[in-house]
Amino acid sequence: MPPSTSGLVEALWQAIALLRDDRLDEAEAAFIGILERWPGQPDALHFQGVLRHSQGRLDEAVELISAALRQIPEHADAWNNLGNVLLVAGRVDDAVQAYERGIAIAAGQPETAAALSNLSIVHRRQGRAAEAESACRRALDVAPDFADAWYNLSLVLMERGEVHEGLLANSRAIALWPQRAQPRDQVIRALLLLGERERAAGLYREWLAEEPDNPVIHHQLAACLGNAVPVRASDAYVQQVFDSFADSFDAKLESLHYRAPELIAQALAEAAGEPRGALDIVDAGCGTGLCGVLVRPWARHLAGCDLSVGMLRRAVPRQVYDVLHQAELVYYLETQPGHFDAVVCADTLCYFGALEAAVAAARRALRPGGWLVFTVEALQEDDAQGHRLQVNGRYAHTGGYVRDAISQGGLELLTLQAGTLRLEAGRPVPGWIVSARRP
């Protein structure tokens, strides 16, 4: 170490301590001062990059940490921090490579736990549950008390339907680090899967007291209690849920073997025949465009509408829609009289209890001879009401009720077929695939 650096090592440790205490302005000034006196010092570059990450200056963060790694390529923690920045920047493949590089450098050592836990997050977002679980367990092999790994393991297990094991993993995370408790909605869903509605309702009430204007909590509490159930999910609920879900939507549904778009396309083929690119179609509740891709061959003009701006943004890169609208389904259809030859709704009407208004709006938007094709979740036929809000926040409908709603909406029922829409907690979700025609 050159004589001129005397005292700078202590200054570096003080700067790192400021960063860990979230005293970012002071830490920034300290790192700048250190690098002015000790240009290119790799630890200062590394942690200044971590600071830039905290400030949202991702390009600078990547540049700084990469500069540090060019000098100290065997620094496992720096590779992990680089992976974190790349992941936030949307460079998922590069993030995975950074994590794996750090894991390989310190194989079998406790310092690999963070990178393994972070790698599990990537795998989970990609719908690769087995790889996500493996990464968590590898992290716990080298660091049995690492709360993040227990937390991420709890997410993987619950989403796969292993509810008891997921709650146990979450309890371990809480014991090790109380602030790392799993999001309450995940814990509540786990309790509901176990049939513990009273405990779940109690947690919802506590949450509602903290956030009285949160539409998601209002909706889910109604689903849990079966009281004051709305006839359909509110616009605010749909927007909040799907905006938060948009980035991981496709990967998540792939992991659930989501079949609704495929079933919609099959039903449209049965109704309309071979695809000739001659129909004006609207994908009502289009989401990220999973259904649009499959029905596009039938379309001369394909419109999409959805309440969620986040979902619409994800639909744009697919380049299958001629136009996209941010709008509520019934309102949009009512303002498009006689515009369409087909209205398709893949798992959209499961956010409606009463279907009559949606069916009537579809009739108004259809030309004579046009088709409405949709899916809903199935309810046992002995349910007197005909539709019910389930604890998962979606509505299910009896076949008899669907027939009546189609008739009251002025359409002719063509087919009402039973099928599996997806998996949920590892179990098949039964549904109806419905096609109807405007006379």
Q: 303-344, pLDDT tens digit by residue?
A: 999 999 999 999 999 999 999 999 999 999 999 999 999 999
pLDDT tens figures, 243-254: 987 777 777 677
150 and 18 in a single domain? The answer is yes
How much of the chain exceeds pLDDT 90, in percent?
65
347 and 284 in a single domain? The answer is yes
Evaluate whether residue 242 is within a structural domain.
no
212 and 260 in a single domain? The answer is no
Q: What is the mean pLDDT of residues 126-143?
A: 94
Evaluate whether residue 59 is within a structural domain.
yes
Distances (CA, A) of 83 to 45, 79, 116, 199: 16, 6, 11, 39
What is the per-residue pLDDT for 3? Answer: 40
What is the per-residue pLDDT for 178? Answer: 67
Both tokens of 255, joined, read: 């992991």
What is the per-residue pLDDT for 102? Answer: 94
What is the per-residue pLDDT for 182? Answer: 54
Residue 2 has pLDDT above 50, yes or no: no
Helices (H), 194-328: 197-210, 215-225, 235-245, 249-255, 260-272, 290-295, 309-315
Residue 191 has pLDDT above 90, yes or no: no
260 and 215 in a single domain? The answer is no
For the chain, how many structural domains are there in total?
A: 3
Residue 180 has pLDDT above 70, yes or no: no
Evaluate whether residue 236 is within a structural domain.
no
What is the per-residue pLDDT for 252? Answer: 67
Burial 146-184 (b: 16+ CB within 10 A, else e): bbbbbbbbbbbbbbbebbeebbebbebbbebeeebbbee
Residue 4 has pLDDT above 70, yes or no: no
Q: What is the mean pLDDT of residues 75-83?
A: 94
Tell me if 113 sits within 8 A of 142, measured CB to CB: yes
Rg (CA), the chain: 26
Q: What is the mean pLDDT of residues 215-237?
A: 91
- Which residues constitute the domain of residue 260? 248-437
303 and 358 in a single domain? The answer is yes
Closest CA to 157 of 179, 145, 140: 140
Evaluate whether residue 88 is within a structural domain.
yes
Evaluate whether residue 210 is within a structural domain.
yes
What is the per-residue pLDDT for 135? Answer: 97
375 and 424 in a single domain? The answer is yes
Pick 47 or 160 by higher pLDDT: 47
Q: What is the mean pLDDT of residues 356-380?
A: 98
Evaluate whether residue 238 is within a structural domain.
no
Distances (CA, A) of 135 to 122, 140, 193, 253, 346: 10, 9, 26, 21, 34
Evaluate whether residue 87 is within a structural domain.
yes
What is the per-residue pLDDT for 184? Answer: 72
Evaluate whether residue 64 is within a structural domain.
yes
Averaged confidence pLDDT in the chain = 91
pLDDT tens figures, 393-420: 999 999 999 999 999 999 999 999 999 9
Residue 192 has pLDDT above 90, yes or no: no
Residue 267 has pLDDT above 60, yes or no: yes
| CATH number reported for the structural domain that contains residue 404 in this entry | 3.40.50.150
Distance CA 231, CA 282 (A): 24
Pick 384 or 142 by higher pLDDT: 142
Q: Determine which of 116-130, 249-263, 281-295 has the lowest per-residue pLDDT on average.
A: 249-263
370 and 302 in a single domain? The answer is yes
What is the per-residue pLDDT for 282? Answer: 99
Pick 193 or 359 by higher pLDDT: 359
pLDDT bracket for residue 197 (50, 70, 90) = confident
Residue 194 has pLDDT above 90, yes or no: no
Q: What is the mean pLDDT of residues 291-313?
A: 97
How much of the chain exceeds pLDDT 70, in percent?
96
Q: Determine which of 142-146, 243-247, 262-266 has the lowest per-residue pLDDT on average.
A: 243-247
267 and 407 in a single domain? The answer is yes
259 and 212 in a single domain? The answer is no
Residue 378 has pLDDT above 90, yes or no: yes
Q: What are phi and psi of 373, to 5 degrees?
A: -130, 125
201 and 167 in a single domain? The answer is no
273 and 333 in a single domain? The answer is yes
pLDDT tens figures, 34-47: 888 888 999 999 99
254 and 298 in a single domain? The answer is yes
What is the per-residue pLDDT for 15? Answer: 85
Q: What is the mean pLDDT of residues 82-110?
A: 92
| CATH number reported for the structural domain that contains residue 29 in this entry | 1.25.40.10
